[in-house]
Amino acid sequence: MMRTLLILTKAAAGIAVFLVLLGFAVKNTDGVVVRYFLGLEWQAPLVFVLLVFFAAGVVLGVTASLAILVRQRREILGLKRELRGLTRSPVAPMLAESA
């Protein structure tokens, strides 16, 4: 029961966000000009320009996160190897001393 309620709440929130964004897109179809250096210009609807720059930000953010994630995974792998080496080394001398 509770799980179904949670799924319905998430679905309703998703639909509400979609409708708000759709309304934003319909209301902002005016053309804008993005001016670059050296006199270059790009003319497109406002919603499209916002979408392109939002997507570029997401790509940059995910790329930066992936670099950190890869570095952390390498560090964890090295620490696991080191831990395995430490746990195996002391066991053998202890067994030899007790016998």
Three-class secondary structure assignment of the chain: CHHHHHHHHHHHHHHHHHHHHHHHHHHCCCEEEEECHHHCEEEEEHHHHHHHHHHHHHHHHHHHHHHHHHHHHHHHHHHHHHHHHHHHCCHHHHHHHHC
Mean pLDDT (the chain) is 86
**pLDDT tens digits, residue range 50-66?**
889 999 999 999 999 99
Q: What is the pTM of this model?
A: 0.57
What per-residue confidence (pLDDT) applies to 95?
A: 56
Residue spans per domain, the chain: 46-93
**pLDDT tens digits, residue range 9-65?**
999 999 999 999 888 888 888 889 988 888 899 899 988 888 899 999 999 999 999
